[in-house]
Amino acid sequence: MMLISVCIAASLWTSAQEQCVKSVVNLKGDQVTLTTSGEKNATLQQNFVYYERKRQRKNDESYSIPKATASNPSKPLLLSTKRDVTAVPEKYRVSVSTPQKNMTACPDSESNLATTLKVERLATFTGNYPGTKVDPRYEEISKRHYKMAARKIRKIERKEEKIARRTEVNVGVKSSDM
């Protein structure tokens, strides 16, 4: 009786092994580019206006504006600033390795594959370190429009000073179109 049960178990064992598939395991890692890094590249765009003065008075300062066609420009007036921030992409090398080269997979059974994942950052020197770049833009306008803009800016500054004086808290104005 014992011999029959061993023969039946051996035949079941061989039939179960015949259903299993034995194959080679290959895993590959590719180079990955991530754009959500900690380093950021910022560009600060400043918009200035000025007008061309007819002549320089006795106590007036002379201003030099790059790429300006005016021979005697007024003091540049900062109207708006815009900050564009972009993330600096980084490249990483990902390698996956398995300690087992061959694996057997059988139906209705669980197969566990142990892998090792290695991620390394590729350091390349580009010569351009991230930081803030300032891009000033100058526009020539009429003296009337320049004076109107200067009055509006001074009015905003006086209101800031008044609120700061009354509440004893520093006040800063933030434009809605930034």
pLDDT digits (tens, 9 = 90+) for 3-55: 344 444 444 455 545 678 777 777 666 666 665 556 677 888 999 999 998 88
Q: How far is CA 143 from CA 52, 109, 155, 157, in A?
A: 8, 85, 18, 21
pTM: 0.55
With DSSP H G I counted as helix, E B as strand and the rest as coil, what are the percentages for the chain, rounded to 5?
25, 35, 45
Tokens linked to 125: 């020197």
Q: CB of 30 within 8 A of CB of 94?
A: yes
